[in-house]
Structure 1
Amino acid sequence: MINVGLGAAIGAVIRYIITTWWKRLKIDWPLATLFINITGSFLLGILTENFASNSPIMLLFGTGLMGGYTTFSTFNVELISMIDERRWRTLTVYLGLSYIGGTVAAICGLMI
């Protein structure tokens, strides 16, 4: 279990660094979350293909690191903000890119 906690802490720090860096660009679009979730899906696909689900490596990097790195909660907060601001086009594009992009990235990771 320490593997999972250690991995989650590292993943959260990496996510924080990426998000902080991206905010400096002052782009009014949730690119940081999209990037994090798609790259996380890809990396999790690679891990899933190569390690058993209960192996120490999978617990550290898959469950822990990727669990701390990717962010479903931020994704949902951003969607709710778009609904509140009536940014329907952005909402639709963001949903499509996130779900389709994440699925395609995971499949690509599984194929490596």
Structure 2
Amino acid sequence: MTALLVFVGAAVGAVSRYLTDRFVRSRHDSVFPWGTLTVNVVGSFVLGCVAGTGPTWTALVGTGFCGGLTTYSTFSFETVRLLEDGRHRQALANVVVSLVAGVAAAAAGYLLTR
């Protein structure tokens, strides 16, 4: 049953990531990876909210949805691509903002629900 919860959550999360990225890209004419930053920060917040809940919510929302929504590999690849394009400041900003905002969002979600 737990694997099914993870599967359903991940399916919804992955589709949400795709749609969010498309929406954000349509609003920003920029090489900066705003879509990936958005889903990673939102996912961090949601995971902070469900941290410490029961195993059902953790499987469905924490592992499944947040796992499908967020993407470390795309964040890494987009940072490398910025570096290859000579956009060193944007690459550094992507790393710093992603880490700081992600941790802050997770903390905020956790504090909000405790």
**TM-score bin, normalised by smaller chain:** over 0.9
Is residue 5–residue 56 contact of structure 2 (8 Å, CA) maintained in 1? yes
Q: 1:13 aligns with which of 1, 6, 15?
A: 15
Displacement of 1:28 after TM fit? 2.1
1:56 is displaced (CA, Å) by 1.3
Instruction: Report which stretch shifted further, 22-31 or 91-100.
Output: 22-31
CA RMSD of the aligned region, Å?
1.0
Give the C-alpha shift of residue 96 in structure 1: 0.6
Per the alignment, residue 83 of structure 2 pairs with 83
Deviation at 1:8, TM superposition (A): 0.3
* Counterpart for residue 62 of structure 1: 62
List per-residue Cα deviations over 1:91-112 (Å, max 9, x = no partner): 1111110001101111111101
| Farther-moved stretch of structure 1 (91-100 vs 18-27) | 18-27
List 4+ stretches of structure 1 deviating above 6 A.
Answer: none
Q: Residue in 1 aligned with 2:107?
A: 107
Identity of aligned residues (%): 34
Q: Secondary structure at 2:51's aligned position in 1?
A: helix
The one-letter amino acid of 1:67's match is G
Q: Which moved more, 1:22-31 or 1:70-79?
A: 22-31
Matches within 5 A, 1:18-33: 18-25=20-27, 26-33=29-36
**What amino acid maps onto 1:56 in structure 2?**
T
Matched AA of 1:81: R
- Give the TM-score, by structure 2 length: 0.91
Cα distance in 2 for residues equivalent to 1:86 and 1:75: 17
Q: Is the CA contact (8 Å cut-off) linking 2:25 and 2:34 kept in structure 1?
A: no
The alignment covers a number of residue pairs equal to 109
Partner of residue 71, structure 2: 71
